Amino acid sequence: MPILCAAVVTATLLLAHRLVPNALGNLGSLIEAFLPWLVLAVPALLALAAVRRSLLGLAAALLPLAAWLIPFGGHLLPRDTPAAGLIAMQHNVSDENPDPAGTARALLAAHPDLVALEELLPSAAPAYASVLDAELPFHTVQGTVALWSRFPLSAAAAADIRPHDLGPDWNRGLRAVAHTPSGDIAVFVAHLPSVRITAGGFRSARRDEAAGKLGALIAAEPIPRLIVLGDLNTTVDDRGLRPIASSTTPLPADFAFTWPAAAPVARIDQVLTRSMRVTRLRALPPTASDHRPLAAEIGF
DSSP states of 1-36: -HHHHHHHHHHHHHH-GGGS-STTTTHHHHHHHTGG
Q: What is the pTM of this model?
A: 0.94
The pLDDT assigned to 144 comes to 98
Interatomic CA distance for residues 203 and 201, integer angstroms: 6
289 and 196 share one domain: yes
Measured CA distances, 243 to 33, 50, 187, 198, 240 (Å): 16, 45, 17, 25, 8
The pLDDT assigned to 243 comes to 96
264 and 124 share one domain: yes
The pLDDT assigned to 1 comes to 73
Q: Is residue 116 part of a domain?
A: yes
Q: Is residue 81 part of a domain?
A: no
Interatomic CA distance for residues 6 and 12, integer angstroms: 10
153 and 54 share one domain: no
Sequence letter at residue 144: T
Domain of 100: which CATH number? 3.60.10.10
Beta carbons within 8 Å of 200's beta carbon, 6+ residues apart: 25
CB 189 within 8 A of CB 145: yes
The pLDDT assigned to 254 comes to 93
Q: Is residue 293 part of a domain?
A: yes
Number of domains in the chain: 2
91 and 202 share one domain: yes
The pLDDT assigned to 56 comes to 86
- Does 260 sit behind a cis peptide bond, omega within 30 degrees of 0 on the bond before it? yes
- State which residues form the domain around 177: 86-299
3-state class (DSSP) for residue 147: strand
Q: Is residue 80 part of a domain?
A: no
60 and 111 share one domain: no
Q: Is residue 256 part of a domain?
A: yes
3-state class (DSSP) for residue 98: coil
Interatomic CA distance for residues 264 and 261, integer angstroms: 5
259 and 207 share one domain: yes
Sequence letter at residue 265: V
* Domain closes at, from 75, 100, 117: 75
Low-confidence ranges of the chain (pLDDT < 50): none
Q: Is residue 96 part of a domain?
A: yes
211 and 238 share one domain: yes
46 and 130 share one domain: no
CB 68 within 8 A of CB 41: no
151 and 41 share one domain: no
Measured CA distances, 156 to 7, 139, 221 (Å): 51, 9, 14
Of 216, 226, 251, 227, give the one whose Cα is nearest residue 237.
251
* Domain closes at, from 75, 102, 136: 75
